[in-house]
A and B are shown apart, each in its own frame.
Chain A
Amino acid sequence: MNPLAFFAIFLKAALFSTGGLGTLPSLHQDLTANGWAQEADFGKAIAIGQFTPGPSGLWVISLGYLTYGYLGAGLALLAVMIPPFLVLGLAAVYRRIEHLMAVRGMIRGLSLALIGLLVVVTASTLAGSGTDWRGVVVAACAFGLAFSQKVPVFVILVGAAGVGLLIF
């Protein structure tokens, strides 16, 4: 595994992302194509990311570790730190509103496309990690509980791990 290529994959994902999970579709595509990550690595990394403090986008550090050890974790952190620096440029020019409107449109387009990509990636993660009907039921329950926003995310995940112990 080449560290520069590894870093480039993470940086590219961060440059075309918004929000915490925005890096996922691009990382999923590139890392699985190279055989550098297993389907299950993504689920693990995202689950761990829910238990750690700080911005939720930092789950990529966990993915970096799972795929490339401590160096991978460091490179992943560096990669997600770079794109937000564009905000300094924007802060300097934001008074030109026409410009801002086009930028807003671009980011809207990006967010919407990411939703479509995330749904596809999630489905493929679910299908690719050997999930049977019991897994699908667990996924549906987790979706319902999280959607209702009445149960904290870490409780859902701990519960799912407990259910896993009992039924598998």
Chain B
Amino acid sequence: MEGPTARKLLLIWAGIGAQSFGGGPTTLLFIQREMVERRGWLSEAEFVRFWALCPLVPGINLIGFAILIGRRLAGWRGIAATLAGMLLPSAIITTVLTAGFSSLQGWPPFQSALRGLIPATAGLMFVLALQMGRPVFKEVRQEGWPRLATAVGFVLCAAVLLGWLQLPSWLVLLMALVAGAFLLSFKVISPPVQSSIEEIEEIEGVPQ
């Protein structure tokens, strides 16, 4: 397999970064097409294994994914080229758009539009919060109702600790991390998880 140069990576990722409207799923699709199907730089198995690791670390999953792919293709230079390519176009577009948005601030019709826009964003945020919980709830449901109750407890406790007791949110999240390690790790391994772990081991066992 021919290794790409950092320059080429930068250009390809800039294309992915600038085109991927609609957040995560679209970006993932572009990466899969470009890296696996079109250029064959990454096997389908590597793609799946890399993506499986990303939700296990904090922060934006796609950035972790880009880091793994960049290193696999061209080491540290690959990481730098990949991140610059994926993030800079998005960052520049976001900043320019925000600057344009801010310059309209004093214009009365804009203020009216904003009074519709901001509550709508709040509505979307509720949906995003629910979507964020969906994969976890799907898993814990298979692990039995005590697990499910524990998961619901996590959501409620966090809301009470922040909203009522006004604890700092990093403290609430740190408590959730520690409690999660004890209460939510896989004691009872559900079938899909088992198979995905085996899959990962299998892939790892194959010499590359």
| Chain A residues proximal to chain B, CB less than 8 Å | 12-22, 24-26, 28-29, 40, 43-59, 61-62, 65-66, 70, 73, 77, 80-88, 90-91, 94-95, 97, 100-126, 129, 131, 135-136, 138-144, 146-147, 152-153, 156-157, 159-165, 167-168
14 interchain pairs (CB within 8 A)?
A17-B59, A20-B24, A52-B90, A65-B99, A80-B59, A81-B63, A88-B67, A90-B53, A115-B132, A117-B162, A117-B169, A120-B159, A120-B163, A165-B113
In the complex, the answer to whether A105 meets B180 with C-beta atoms within 8 Å is yes
B91 within 8 A of A: yes
Contact of A77 among B91, B121, B151 (CB under 8 A): B91
Q: Name the B residues within 8 Å of A46 (CB-CB).
A: 121, 124-125
* Pick from A29, A49, A83, A160: contact of B120, CB under 8 Å: A160
B183 contact set on A, CB distance < 8 A:
105, 109
Complex: chain A residue closest to B83, CB-CB: A81
Complex contact A48–B59 (CB within 8 A): no
The 10 closest A-B pairs by CB, nearest first: A109-B180, A164-B116, A54-B90, A105-B185, A142-B123, A116-B158, A160-B120, A113-B176, A83-B59, A116-B159
Question: How does the 8 Å CB contact mask read for B52-80 relative to A, with 1 for contact and 0 for none?
Answer: 01111111111111011001000000000
A137 to chain B, nearest CB (A): 8
What A residues does B24 contact at CB under 8 A? Answer: 20, 55-56
The residues of B with any CB-CB pair to A shorter than 8 Å are 17-24, 27, 50, 53-65, 67-68, 71, 83, 86-87, 89-91, 93-95, 97-99, 101-102, 109, 111-130, 132-133, 136, 139-140, 151, 154-160, 162-163, 168-170, 172-186, 197, 200-201, 204
- A97 to B181 Cα, complex, angstroms: 13
Chain A residues with CB below 8 A from B54, complex form: 84, 87
In the bound complex, how far is the Cα of B123 from the Cα of A12, in angstroms?
A: 26
Query: Do the beta carbons of A162 and B17 come within 8 Å of each other?
Result: no
Partner of A40, one of B62, B109, B114, B170: B114
- Chain B facing A: main interface SS: helix
Given A61-B94, A164-B114, A168-B116, does the pair A21, B128 have CB atoms closer than 8 Å? yes
Using CB atoms, name the residue of chain A closest to B167.
Answer: A29
**A-side contacts of B133, CB under 8 Å:** 111-112, 115
